Amino acid sequence: MVLSVLACFTLASNFGFLTYSSSDFGEERVVSKAVVVEIAPPWDTIDSGAAECFLDAVKYAESAGAMLLYKVNSYGGYLDAAFAMGDAVYYSHVPAVAYVENKALSAGTLIILPADIIALQRGSIIGAMKPIMVNPVTGEVTFVNESKILEPIIGKAKVYSEPRRRNVTLIMDFIVNAKVVDSSTATSLGVGDFEVANFEELISRLNGLVIEKRGVRYRLEVPEGFIEGYTCSVRSRFLSLLSNAYLANALLSVGVLAAIFALASGRLVVLPLAVALILLGLVGTGVNPNLVSVFFMLLGAILLAVELFILPGFGVVGISGIVLITLGFALLPMYIPTGVVPQGEYLMALRAFIFGMATTLGTFLGIVLFKVIQVKRKKPILYTPEGKEGIVVEDIKPGKVGFVKIEGEYWRATSSKEINAGERVVVVSMKSDGVLVVEKKTME
């Protein structure tokens, strides 16, 4: 069975195109654009952030009528994220090509199986799909042998492999025995389609190939200038960071300790930041980031309003509000509706507008914060009217307090000599209680 599949593939390659058997043929389309998404270091873990980015890339490729080409250089990741990515490729309506660059192990192998073409870099490896459980505290790795976990993985792998008749026996060996094979073995045994030296050779090999998918024949004719790299959103990358089990535990621990400290010491202004750390840690354990995003923005807006309109000055409450609003925007989902692809000029203008607004507001906020800090650091300046002249408003008796008018302001004043109302005086000094010491101005 394996030999017959390989023979068919060799024959097709010699004629410059690749096809798969199908009972019915529909229209033929020429694919002249490719969307490239990477699962590679430093973002090589297959987690919720990588899955969200990958699903967005699939939607974008479908709306643009482009080929989806995903590079995989990963040790693996989380099973639910791998299932989401694999399903996205399996149910996609555009040609999908998986390129294994160096390695695609564990969940990395699972996500390449539903691709229409699997190309492997020479010397790369795939396999090791046996699931493991990692203790985030001790780092201990435990292999999972429970059929309740293994069988769903085997079932999905079979579903992914069936359309292209990949070697299910070898794939089951990947899952049950954690077997690993190199690119040459994977290709000869019917899991991979062909080997290439690099990405440039892959593009050269793809051009001219024909892929039959869902009753449509896709002819790949992608010029070099029509290969578009897909950039993951800030939210996706942020979710990838939060999905790290060690970071999630650290955030939870610090957040809980900070909350206890805030409640015990009565410094409640620290409590919002402690709650933020706890929620960020919970996002890494599966809490819906959309709800956390809305909560952050609402709480941040409330704190900022309290700081601006109720509390004097600008301190921890206001800074906490800004931090929470920033985190809320970072977790805010940003979607372009499928089927509606803005023109490149529009996206460039929108990006420039957003960047300009962010720069302007950031600069303004930075200046305001700088001025506030500068004012707070200044030493208080004591104003005294020493040496200034004024007019006595109320008679001043020796040792008694009367009133004088200096530059339009009324001051309490005293003198060692009697001074009558209407006479001009000069301020000699000011006492600690604010009473001026004056003397009658002598006529020169």
Q: Is the pLDDT of residue 12 over 50?
A: no
Q: Are residues 219 and 240 in the same domain?
A: no
Q: Are residues 329 and 191 in the same domain?
A: no
Omega before 42 cis (within 30°)?
yes
- Helices and strands in the chain: count of H runs, count of E runs: 14, 20
Which of 210, 232, 254 is the last residue before a domain boundary?
232
Residue 370 lies in a domain: no
Q: Are residues 145 and 31 in the same domain?
A: yes
* Encoded tokens for 336: 């372009």
Q: Is the pLDDT of residue 144 over 60?
A: yes
* Encoded tokens for 32: 């002249």
* Encoded tokens for 337: 């509706």
CA atoms within 13 A on the CB side of 383: 1
Out of 50-59, 120-129, 215-224, 266-275, pick the least confident.
Answer: 266-275
Tokens 């190199």, residue located: 182
Q: Are residues 242 and 228 in the same domain?
A: no
Q: Is the pLDDT of residue 90 over 90?
A: yes
Give CA–CA dist 378/370, Å, rounded. Answer: 12
CATH number of the domain that residue 410 is part of: 2.40.50.140
Q: Are residues 212 and 82 in the same domain?
A: yes
Region 305-315 average pLDDT: 74
Q: Are residues 317 and 402 in the same domain?
A: no
Q: Are residues 280 and 225 in the same domain?
A: no
Q: Is the pLDDT of residue 206 over 90?
A: yes
Non-local CB neighbours of 380 within 8 Å, separated by 6+ positions: none
More confident residue, 345 or 285: 285
Q: Are residues 136 and 205 in the same domain?
A: yes
Q: Are residues 105 and 162 in the same domain?
A: yes
Residue 353 lies in a domain: no
Query: How many domains is the chain built from?
Result: 3
Q: Are residues 43 and 151 in the same domain?
A: yes
Residue 429 lies in a domain: yes
Residue 144 lies in a domain: yes
pTM exceeds 0.75, yes or no: no
Domain range holding 161? 2-232
Which of 232, 252, 280 is the last residue before a domain boundary?
232
C-beta atoms surrounding 46 within 10 Å: 30
* Encoded tokens for 160: 């992914």
Residue 318 lies in a domain: yes
